Structure 1
Amino acid sequence: MGKAIIAILCLVIGVVIGGIGALTLGGGAMAGLGIATGLSAGICSTVQAAVEEELLTPEQVDQVLTRAATDMAALTGNTVEGEIVGSSDDCADVLETLRASAS
Protein backbone atom coordinates (compact mmCIF):
# COMPACT_ATOMS: atom_id res chain seq x y z
CA MET A 1 0.00 0.00 0.00
CA GLY A 2 2.83 2.39 0.81
CA LYS A 3 4.48 1.84 -2.58
CA ALA A 4 1.22 2.64 -4.39
CA ILE A 5 0.83 5.92 -2.50
CA ILE A 6 4.44 6.89 -3.25
CA ALA A 7 3.92 6.03 -6.94
CA ILE A 8 0.73 8.11 -7.15
CA LEU A 9 2.39 11.00 -5.30
CA CYS A 10 5.36 10.92 -7.69
CA LEU A 11 2.98 10.81 -10.66
CA VAL A 12 1.09 13.87 -9.43
CA ILE A 13 4.32 15.78 -8.76
CA GLY A 14 5.63 14.82 -12.22
CA VAL A 15 2.44 16.00 -13.90
CA VAL A 16 2.58 19.34 -12.07
CA ILE A 17 6.24 19.93 -12.89
CA GLY A 18 5.71 18.82 -16.49
CA GLY A 19 2.71 21.12 -16.84
CA ILE A 20 4.66 24.10 -15.56
CA GLY A 21 7.51 23.32 -17.98
CA ALA A 22 5.12 22.95 -20.90
CA LEU A 23 3.43 26.27 -20.12
CA THR A 24 6.79 28.00 -19.92
CA LEU A 25 7.97 26.64 -23.28
CA GLY A 26 4.58 27.24 -24.91
CA GLY A 27 4.48 30.80 -23.61
CA GLY A 28 7.91 31.50 -25.08
CA ALA A 29 6.89 30.11 -28.45
CA MET A 30 3.69 32.16 -28.47
CA ALA A 31 5.62 35.30 -27.55
CA GLY A 32 8.05 34.71 -30.41
CA LEU A 33 5.21 34.22 -32.85
CA GLY A 34 3.52 37.40 -31.63
CA ILE A 35 6.73 39.38 -31.99
CA ALA A 36 7.29 38.12 -35.54
CA THR A 37 3.70 38.89 -36.52
CA GLY A 38 3.84 42.36 -34.98
CA LEU A 39 7.16 43.11 -36.65
CA SER A 40 5.85 42.02 -40.04
CA ALA A 41 2.64 44.01 -39.60
CA GLY A 42 4.57 47.14 -38.65
CA ILE A 43 6.99 46.83 -41.53
CA CYS A 44 4.22 46.17 -44.04
CA SER A 45 2.00 49.01 -42.92
CA THR A 46 4.96 51.40 -43.08
CA VAL A 47 6.05 50.40 -46.57
CA GLN A 48 2.47 50.41 -47.81
CA ALA A 49 2.10 53.97 -46.56
CA ALA A 50 5.38 54.92 -48.27
CA VAL A 51 4.10 53.50 -51.57
CA GLU A 52 0.76 55.29 -51.21
CA GLU A 53 2.55 58.57 -50.47
CA GLU A 54 4.73 57.91 -53.53
CA LEU A 55 7.92 57.99 -51.49
CA LEU A 56 8.92 54.49 -52.66
CA THR A 57 8.08 52.40 -55.69
CA PRO A 58 7.14 48.72 -55.26
CA GLU A 59 10.57 47.81 -56.70
CA GLN A 60 12.30 49.98 -54.11
CA VAL A 61 10.19 48.38 -51.37
CA ASP A 62 11.33 44.94 -52.54
CA GLN A 63 14.95 46.11 -52.53
CA VAL A 64 14.72 47.60 -49.04
CA LEU A 65 12.87 44.61 -47.55
CA THR A 66 15.28 42.12 -49.11
CA ARG A 67 18.23 44.03 -47.70
CA ALA A 68 16.63 44.32 -44.26
CA ALA A 69 15.83 40.59 -44.17
CA THR A 70 19.38 39.73 -45.29
CA ASP A 71 20.91 42.03 -42.68
CA MET A 72 18.68 40.63 -39.93
CA ALA A 73 19.51 37.04 -40.89
CA ALA A 74 23.23 37.86 -40.84
CA LEU A 75 22.92 39.63 -37.50
CA THR A 76 21.02 36.84 -35.77
CA GLY A 77 22.55 33.91 -37.64
CA ASN A 78 19.03 32.82 -38.55
CA THR A 79 18.79 31.39 -42.04
CA VAL A 80 15.15 30.27 -41.76
CA GLU A 81 13.11 32.00 -44.44
CA GLY A 82 9.51 33.07 -44.13
CA GLU A 83 9.69 34.63 -40.67
CA ILE A 84 10.46 38.17 -41.80
CA VAL A 85 8.83 39.75 -44.82
CA GLY A 86 11.22 40.13 -47.72
CA SER A 87 9.11 41.60 -50.53
CA SER A 88 6.01 43.65 -51.23
CA ASP A 89 4.18 40.42 -52.15
CA ASP A 90 4.93 39.08 -48.67
CA CYS A 91 3.55 42.30 -47.24
CA ALA A 92 0.36 41.97 -49.22
CA ASP A 93 -0.07 38.44 -47.82
CA VAL A 94 0.63 39.56 -44.25
CA LEU A 95 -1.82 42.47 -44.42
CA GLU A 96 -4.50 40.29 -46.02
CA THR A 97 -4.08 37.69 -43.27
CA LEU A 98 -4.41 40.41 -40.62
CA ARG A 99 -7.54 41.81 -42.28
CA ALA A 100 -9.08 38.35 -42.45
CA SER A 101 -8.31 37.60 -38.80
CA ALA A 102 -9.72 40.98 -37.72
CA SER A 103 -13.04 40.24 -39.40
Structure 2
Amino acid sequence: MDTPNSPFEALNRIVEIAGSQSEAARRLAVPQPTFWKWLQSSKRLPAEYVLLAEREFGVSRHALRPDIYPRDYPPAPDQTERWIGIDKGADRRVA
Protein backbone atom coordinates (compact mmCIF):
# COMPACT_ATOMS: atom_id res chain seq x y z
CA MET A 1 0.00 0.00 0.00
CA ASP A 2 1.37 3.41 -0.99
CA THR A 3 1.58 6.20 1.55
CA PRO A 4 -0.36 9.27 0.39
CA ASN A 5 1.90 12.24 -0.42
CA SER A 6 -0.73 14.94 0.03
CA PRO A 7 -3.99 15.49 1.92
CA PHE A 8 -5.87 15.18 -1.39
CA GLU A 9 -4.27 11.78 -2.08
CA ALA A 10 -5.14 10.70 1.47
CA LEU A 11 -8.76 11.70 0.90
CA ASN A 12 -8.81 9.71 -2.34
CA ARG A 13 -7.30 6.77 -0.44
CA ILE A 14 -10.32 6.86 1.89
CA VAL A 15 -12.60 6.51 -1.15
CA GLU A 16 -10.55 3.54 -2.40
CA ILE A 17 -10.76 1.80 0.99
CA ALA A 18 -14.48 2.52 1.41
CA GLY A 19 -15.27 1.47 -2.14
CA SER A 20 -17.24 4.62 -2.98
CA GLN A 21 -17.79 8.21 -1.96
CA SER A 22 -21.21 7.24 -0.64
CA GLU A 23 -19.80 4.59 1.68
CA ALA A 24 -17.02 6.90 2.86
CA ALA A 25 -19.57 9.63 3.59
CA ARG A 26 -21.85 7.19 5.41
CA ARG A 27 -19.02 6.00 7.67
CA LEU A 28 -18.08 9.60 8.44
CA ALA A 29 -21.76 10.46 9.09
CA VAL A 30 -21.98 13.18 6.44
CA PRO A 31 -24.10 13.47 3.27
CA GLN A 32 -22.43 12.24 0.08
CA PRO A 33 -22.56 15.72 -1.53
CA THR A 34 -20.53 17.04 1.41
CA PHE A 35 -17.86 14.43 0.82
CA TRP A 36 -17.89 15.22 -2.91
CA LYS A 37 -17.38 18.92 -2.09
CA TRP A 38 -14.33 18.07 0.06
CA LEU A 39 -12.85 16.20 -2.90
CA GLN A 40 -13.69 18.84 -5.52
CA SER A 41 -13.08 22.14 -3.79
CA SER A 42 -11.17 22.00 -0.53
CA LYS A 43 -9.09 18.92 -1.44
CA ARG A 44 -8.77 18.06 2.26
CA LEU A 45 -10.77 16.61 5.11
CA PRO A 46 -12.07 19.07 7.72
CA ALA A 47 -10.24 18.80 11.03
CA GLU A 48 -13.21 17.50 13.01
CA TYR A 49 -13.34 14.32 10.87
CA VAL A 50 -9.65 13.43 10.82
CA LEU A 51 -9.50 11.17 13.88
CA LEU A 52 -12.71 9.36 12.91
CA ALA A 53 -11.36 8.82 9.38
CA GLU A 54 -8.10 7.47 10.77
CA ARG A 55 -10.02 5.02 12.97
CA GLU A 56 -12.51 3.99 10.25
CA PHE A 57 -10.18 3.72 7.26
CA GLY A 58 -6.67 3.42 8.67
CA VAL A 59 -5.39 6.47 6.78
CA SER A 60 -2.91 8.31 8.97
CA ARG A 61 -3.89 11.63 10.54
CA HIS A 62 -0.48 12.86 9.41
CA ALA A 63 -1.37 12.16 5.78
CA LEU A 64 -4.86 13.64 6.06
CA ARG A 65 -3.91 16.91 7.76
CA PRO A 66 -0.16 17.48 8.08
CA ASP A 67 -0.87 21.08 9.05
CA ILE A 68 -2.57 19.90 12.26
CA TYR A 69 -0.76 16.59 12.90
CA PRO A 70 2.84 16.98 11.73
CA ARG A 71 5.01 13.87 11.61
CA ASP A 72 7.69 15.42 13.81
CA TYR A 73 5.26 16.10 16.65
CA PRO A 74 6.66 14.44 19.79
CA PRO A 75 4.83 11.45 21.23
CA ALA A 76 2.78 11.81 24.37
CA PRO A 77 4.89 11.69 27.54
CA ASP A 78 5.16 8.46 29.46
CA GLN A 79 2.84 8.46 32.47
CA THR A 80 5.77 7.68 34.80
CA GLU A 81 7.55 10.84 33.62
CA ARG A 82 4.65 13.18 34.37
CA TRP A 83 4.92 15.79 37.05
CA ILE A 84 2.50 18.41 38.20
CA GLY A 85 2.82 21.63 40.14
CA ILE A 86 6.52 22.41 40.24
CA ASP A 87 9.18 23.20 37.74
CA LYS A 88 11.71 20.38 37.92
CA GLY A 89 14.50 22.76 36.98
CA ALA A 90 13.60 25.48 39.48
CA ASP A 91 15.76 26.23 42.47
CA ARG A 92 13.96 24.87 45.54
CA ARG A 93 15.46 27.43 47.98
CA VAL A 94 13.16 30.09 49.33
CA ALA A 95 14.43 33.62 48.81
Query: If the length of structure 1 is used for normalisation, what is the TM-score?
Result: 0.26
* Larger-Rg structure: 1
Bigger helix share? 1
